[in-house]
Every structure is written in C-alpha cells, then in structure tokens.
C-alpha cells in the first residue's frame, strides 16, 4: 500500500507537469483559430483544476465523497473533514436537512443551492424522490420562485440576452463554458405559467425545465442551456421595483423584437450545431404560434406550451377512453380557454381523429372553445384573437356563461387551460355528472391557485363519477362513503423529457406533430391496470424515467423508419442505444486513467543485450 507521503509527493509532481502542459497548451490554442485540440487536453483541463476549484465546481464536486487517494493526488487533502461519505450517506444527510425546512420557497432555494454545489447529488435526490421534489423544482413552486427571483438570486444560471445585444448574440453565446450544448430552453418571460409578464424573472422556468430534462430524461446537464431573452416588461410592479434585475423599460415589440429572435435562432444553431434542440417556453400567445410556424421547418424546435401540453392531455384522454368505453372520435370536448394550450390540444385531438379514419371536416365539429368573453362562434361580437381559432368557431348561438355552454353542448369532457382560476364551479361539475355517467374533468391550469377546480371539488360534486386530471399535484381524495381516489397530474414532464431524449439521441433536425402523437399514445400505453383502477390517467411519477425512455424508443423507431435521423447507422437495439446516451448520477473517479504495457515490449531485444561486450 502506498504511503500518504508518497501520494502527496506524487500528486505535487503530477500537478506541476499538468500545469506546465496546460500553459503550453493554452499558448498553442490562443495562437490558433481552432478550438481546444482534443478530448485528452480537455480532460487535462478538468483535472488541472485541482484542489479548491474542483470542490467549487458543481460538475466535479463530490463533497465528502472524494476518496483519500483523490484528496491527496488532486490537491484537496486537508480541505475537507477526514470522513469519507459515499453518495447514499450524503443523500440521507441532505434529505434530513430538507425535511426540517418549513416553506416551499425555502425548499426551492435549498435545492438550488445543492444543484450549484453538487450536481450529481442534486439529480440523485430528484430521481429518488421525484414525487416529493418535482413540485418544488417545477410546478407549482417555480411560479412563486419566479415572482421572487430577484430576492433569491445568488449565482448566475443560464444566459441573459437582451434586446440591446442585437448583432452580438453569437459572441455572447461563446461565453457559455460548455460547448457540447444539445438542448436550449428559452423564454422571453411574457406569459409565465398563469402569472403573466415577469420579464427577466422568467429565467426560473428554463432552469427548472432543464433540471427535469436531466432528472426524467437523462439529458446530460452540461448539454443543457437555459436562456432568458429580456426585451423589457409591461409589469408595472416590476418597473417600479428598485431591486428588479431585468431591463427597466417597457417591452420592445415589432420588427426589432422579431429580428432579435431571428438572430438568436441562427446564432444558437451556428454555435452549437443545426441539430441543437430549441424549446420555446412561456412566450405570449400572439408570438407562440407564429414562431412555431416560422421556425419549425428551419430548426430543431418545439413549443412545450402548445405541443407538450397537447401531447400530455391527449395521452390522458386516450387512457380515459378506455375507462368510459367510448372512442375519442365519438366524444365532444369543451375547452375553458382558447389560447395556445387549448389550440395545441384541440389540434392534436383532431390529428388523432384523422388517423382513426374520421373525415377532417367532421373532426372540428366535436371541439368547442370558450374564452374570457364566451363561446367562440362564427358571428361573435368580438373578433378572434388568432387565425388558429377559426376552425373551432362554429355556426352556433353565442353563449357567455360556461355552465350554460356545458348544458347546451353536452360535452363528454371539459378541459381547463385558461389559467383563470375556479371556472369549474359546483354547478358546472354537477351538470357534467348529469350529462355523463363518467364525465372527464381535466383542470390543467398552473399553478395551483389558477386551477379550474381542485381534485376534492371534482370528486365531491360529481359523487366520485368523474375521471379527473390536473396540472398541479393534488393529494388523494376520500369521499364520505369511504371511496378513495388518486388524481392524475397532467404535467408536461411526462412528455418533453422523452421527446428531447429521442430527438437528441437520433439527431433529428425537425420535429413534426406526429412525434407528439406518438408520445401521447406511448404514455397511454404505459398505464397499468392497477393505476387505472385507482382513478389515475397518468403513470406513477416514480416510473417517469422508464416512461421517458419508452417514448424515446418509439420516436427512434419512427424517425429511422422515415429517414429523419441524422445519426447513422441505425442502431439495432434502440432501447440499449437510448439507455447508453443517458446521464448517470453515480460519482466518477477524477484520477487520471492508468494502464500497463505488455511486459515483453519493455525488455531489450537482440543477441548483444545479455551483458558485457561481445568479443570479436
């Protein structure tokens, strides 16, 4: 066994060699227009950090998990307490500290600090306790965190690009330390959840989203880039707040805004490659659809508020049709809301109906939209807000009251995506129960206080008849007769990690709507009979990573079959292929790799090598 003194002296010499190599390597790179010359040199860069820097870097820090050998050779011996704790024991300590925190916002800050300190331990905690932690990292607590973002801001996460950076976005992206970026989530902060315009405070959304990319989809964290595009805000409260950390002027719109987004899309693709996935998040309704139309065939992009929400909702509806024993093609749907989420769901439902053989012109007749003014009809008092709504504006009487619309249309399902609070009143829920033996009630708006109804209200006022799903998590509900129901959470996390994993792994350049229908069908097929009997329409969140893998596999099968995959050759075993791409939370050794040569190659060869001079 090597002595500590030997290890320390060896470590000192090794670090000196690395330092000398690194200085020479940097000089070569600076004098050259090329990027870092090879992966070996990049590995040397990482190991050359050593000591304190390795402890401060969340990508490399293992806290008390560094072995004695690592501590001595990497120059951190004495910088840590003497105890060595494996990851399991570290996780137990973290969970104990977490359990003692009193408020959700404090829990959010605690987890953010953990992510910025020890990345692998953070994602291990997410994966181990996804049901407990996801509501803190993302919906609904992330909404509260966004509103308080300036007050809880500690360290920069992601990139802030402003309207005043036009012409220089490509240069700014070069400042991001990771070069192998595969997924970008971008927001302009205009429509954060159901909270409205939060400007630069919207950065909490891309950060939370990408945390779930890794925890649920296995996308490597260093391949993820959160971006907030700051063009100002129309939020009067933020504009008058002396501690607001974003641009303190009103939103810039029009040509300047469009040119900024154009430049951003080109700069991201030029910097990180044409196959980089760019997800739009929480843009205003008027921009969300037009950007999707504009960019979907130029870049690898999708809008989660439109397509992700649609996919998870249709996945729940496909499970519900098994329970009510009635096909989606024969159902009527009434939406509370007529924005991007409602239209996204409606469009994907119609696509499913077309594929099931229903004539295209007949599918629209089954879907009705109800916005803040009333039912969308052809001769309504107010003009339509977007051209996408015209397919669902029927030749029907104008109705201003939602409950009256329920009684008149007699829908099989009501789907709430308005973000306007308690639209599914006691009267509405009772009307749905009178019309249907098993009414489908999807209250999908986030955060919790924006939900159209609670799980308890839905089950109570329908006397346990309803099939319920919500956007925010709700606890089990037990009725007076003793029946207990487990509400399903229709969270987009069931969709976007799996879609991203499949798209990135296969090198897809463009994402068609068919991929989101494939994801919805796969999600429905993941349901077990036991889960359905519990009243669920979505799988247990504990199985979310398996769900994401299976969605990615189905996407891989589709894109390779249709010539859409950029990564060749086609893998024979797509499941193993997808698994091999995924991030591991296991601690890895930071020590340099060592290997041996065959003994015979180090021995001198030839007749004259056995000692002495050969006499003539």
Q: Please state, in angstroms and rounded to a whole number, the distance separating the CA atoms of residues 302 and 279.
A: 5
For 277, the 3-state DSSP assignment is strand
Same domain assignment for residues 291 and 318:
no
Same domain assignment for residues 340 and 424:
yes
Q: Is residue 582 part of a domain?
A: no
Q: Please state, in angstroms and rounded to a whole number, the distance separating the CA atoms of residues 319 and 324.
A: 9
What would the mean pLDDT of 502-525 be, rounded to a whole number?
96
Closest to 370 in 3D by CA, of 324, 404, 347: 404
Same domain assignment for residues 274 and 215:
yes
Same domain assignment for residues 320 and 453:
yes
The pLDDT-based confidence of 606 (bands split at 50, 70, 90) is low
The pLDDT-based confidence of 592 (bands split at 50, 70, 90) is confident
- The residues annotated as belonging to the active site are 138, 209
Give me the percent of the chain exceeding a pLDDT of 90. 71
Q: For residue 279, give its domain range.
A: 87-295
Same domain assignment for residues 281 and 324:
no
Q: Is residue 515 part of a domain?
A: no
Q: Is residue 510 part of a domain?
A: no
Comparing 613 with 300, the larger pLDDT belongs to 300
Closest to 394 in 3D by CA, of 374, 377, 373: 377
Closest to 442 in 3D by CA, of 307, 530, 316: 316
Q: What is the model's pLDDT at position 34?
A: 38
Q: Please state, in angstroms and rounded to a whole number, the distance separating the CA atoms of residues 153 and 234.
A: 21
CATH of the domain at 158: 3.40.50.10380
Largest alpha-carbon pair distance within the chain?
118
pLDDT tens, residue by residue, 346-386: 999 999 999 999 988 888 999 999 998 899 998 888 878 77
Q: Please state, in angstroms and rounded to a whole number, the distance separating the CA atoms of residues 494 and 489.
A: 10
Residue 26: both structure tokens together: 């940097």
Closest to 352 in 3D by CA, of 467, 516, 166: 516
The pLDDT-based confidence of 50 (bands split at 50, 70, 90) is low
Q: What is the model's pLDDT at position 321?
A: 92
Residue 319: both structure tokens together: 């499970």
Distance of CA 255 to the CA centre of its chain: 30
Residue 46 has pLDDT above 80, yes or no: no
Q: What is the model's pLDDT at position 49?
A: 56
Q: Is residue 340 part of a domain?
A: yes
pLDDT tens, residue by residue, 186-213: 999 999 877 889 999 999 999 999 999 9
pLDDT tens, residue by residue, 300-313: 999 999 999 999 99
Q: What is the model's pLDDT at position 104?
A: 94
Out of 496, 531, 553, a domain closes at: 496
Q: Is the pTM of this model over 0.85?
A: yes
Report the number of distinct structural domains present in the chain.
Answer: 3
Same domain assignment for residues 67 and 127:
no
Q: Is residue 467 part of a domain?
A: yes
CATH of the domain at 450: 3.40.50.720
Same domain assignment for residues 28 and 164:
no
Out of 73, 106, 134, a domain closes at: 73
Same domain assignment for residues 68 and 105:
no
Sign of the alpha-carbon dihedral angle for 388, 300, 226, 115: positive
Same domain assignment for residues 249 and 111:
yes
Closest to 282 in 3D by CA, of 191, 185, 417: 191
Q: What is the model's pLDDT at position 116?
A: 94
Q: Is residue 479 part of a domain?
A: yes
Give me the percent of the chain exceeding a pLDDT of 70. 90
Mean pLDDT, the chain, integer: 89
CB 260 within 8 A of CB 188: no
- Taking each helix axis from N to C end, the angle separating 309-324 and 340-355, rounded to the nearest 10 degrees, works out to 50
Same domain assignment for residues 389 and 434:
yes
Residue 24 has pLDDT above 60, yes or no: no
Helix (H) or strand (E) holding 360: helix 360-363
| CB burial string 273-307: b at 16+ within 10 A, e below | eebbbbbbbbbbbebbbebbebbbeebbbbbbbbb
Q: Is residue 142 part of a domain?
A: yes
pLDDT tens, residue by residue, 82-130: 999 999 999 999 999 999 999 999 999 999 999 999 999 999 999 999 9
Q: What is the model's pLDDT at position 607?
A: 64
Residue 483 has pLDDT above 80, yes or no: yes
Out of 471, 496, 521, a domain closes at: 496
CB 82 within 8 A of CB 119: no
Lowest-confidence range among 36-45, 171-180, 302-311, 580-589?
36-45
Helix (H) or strand (E) holding 11: helix 4-30
Same domain assignment for residues 63 and 192:
no
Same domain assignment for residues 342 and 489:
yes
Q: Please state, in angstroms and rounded to a whole number, the distance separating the CA atoms of residues 166 and 422.
A: 42
Q: Please state, in angstroms and rounded to a whole number, the distance separating the CA atoms of residues 539 and 548.
A: 11
For 226, the 3-state DSSP assignment is strand
pLDDT tens, residue by residue, 440-458: 999 999 878 889 999 999 9
pLDDT tens, residue by residue, 131-143: 899 999 988 888 8
Q: Is residue 598 part of a domain?
A: no
Q: What is the model's pLDDT at position 48?
A: 53
């Amino acid at each position: 066994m090597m002595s500590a003194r030997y290890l320390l002296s060896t470590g000192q010499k090794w670090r000196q060699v690395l330092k000398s190599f690194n200085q020479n390597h940097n000089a070569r790179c600076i004098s050259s227009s090329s990027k870092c010359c090879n992966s070996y040199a990049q590995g040397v860069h990482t190991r050359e950090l050593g000591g304190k820097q390795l402890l401060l870097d969340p990508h490399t820090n293992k806290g008390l998990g560094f072995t004695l050998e690592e501590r001595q050779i990497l120059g951190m011996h004495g910088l840590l307490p003497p105890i060595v704790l494996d990851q399991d024991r570290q996780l137990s300590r973290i969970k104990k500290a977490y359990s003692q925190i009193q408020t959700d916002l404090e829990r959010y800050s605690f987890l953010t600090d953990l992510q910025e300190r020890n990345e692998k331990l953070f994602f291990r905690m997410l994966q181990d306790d996804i049901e407990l932690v996801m509501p803190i990292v993302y919906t609904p607590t992330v909404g509260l965190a966004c509103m308080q973002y300036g007050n809880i801001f500690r360290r920069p996460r992601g990139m802030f690009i402003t309207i005043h950076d036009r012409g220089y976005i490509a240069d700014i992206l070069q400042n991001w330390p990771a070069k192998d970026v595969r997924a970008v989530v971008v927001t302009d902060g205009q429509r954060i959840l159901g909270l409205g315009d939060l400007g630069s405070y919207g950065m909490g959304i891309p950060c939370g989203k990408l945390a779930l990319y890794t925890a649920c989809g296995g996308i490597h964290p260093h391949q993820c880039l959160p971006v907030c595009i700051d063009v100002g805000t129309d939020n009067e409260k933020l504009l008058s707040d002396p501690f607001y950390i974003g641009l303190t002027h009103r939103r810039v719109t029009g040509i300047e805004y469009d040119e900024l987004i154009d430049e951003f899309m080109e700069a991201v693709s030029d910097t990180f490659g044409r196959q980089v996935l760019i997800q739009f998040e929480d843009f205003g309704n008027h921009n969300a659809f037009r950007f999707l139309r504009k960019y979907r065939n130029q870049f690898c992009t999708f809008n989660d508020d439109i397509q992700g929400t649609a996919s998870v909702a249709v996945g729940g509806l496909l499970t519900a049709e098994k329970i009510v024993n009635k096909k989606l093609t024969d159902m009527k749907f009434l939406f509370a809301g007529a924005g991007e989420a409602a239209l996204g769901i409606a469009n994907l439902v119609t696509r499913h109906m077309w594929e099931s053989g229903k004539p295209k012109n007949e599918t629209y007749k089954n879907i009705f939209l109800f916005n803040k003014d009333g039912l969308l009809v052809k001769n309504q008092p107010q003009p339509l807000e977007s051209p996408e709504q015209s397919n669902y504006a029927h030749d029907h009487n104008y109705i201003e009251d939602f409950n009256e619309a329920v009684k008149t249309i007699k829908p099989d399902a009501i789907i709430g995506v308005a973000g306007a609070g308690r639209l599914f009143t006691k009267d509405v829920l009772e009307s749905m129960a009178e019309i249907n033996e098993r009414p489908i009630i999807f209250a999908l708006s986030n955060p919790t206080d924006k939900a159209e109804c609670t799980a308890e209200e839905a089950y109570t006022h329908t006397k346990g008849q309803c099939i319920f799903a919500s956007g925010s998590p709700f606890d089990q509900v037990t009725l007076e007769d003793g029946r207990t129901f487990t509400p399903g959470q229709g969270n987009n996390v069931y969709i976007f990690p799996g879609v991203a994993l499949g798209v990135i792994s296969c090198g897809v350049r463009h994402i068609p709507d068919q991929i989101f229908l494939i994801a919805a069908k796969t999600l429905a097929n993941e349901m077990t009979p036991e889960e359905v009997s519990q009243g669920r329409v979505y799988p247990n969140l504990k199985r979310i990573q398996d769900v994401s893998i299976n969605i990615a596999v189905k996407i891989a099968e589709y894109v390779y079959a249709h010539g859409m995959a950029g990564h060749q050759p086609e893998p024979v075993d797509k499941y193993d292929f997808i698994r091999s791409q995924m991030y591991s939370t296991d601690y890895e050794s930071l020590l340099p790799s060592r290997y041996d040569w065959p003994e015979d190659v180090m021995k001198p060869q030839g007749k004259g090598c056995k000692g002495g001079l050969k006499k003539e």
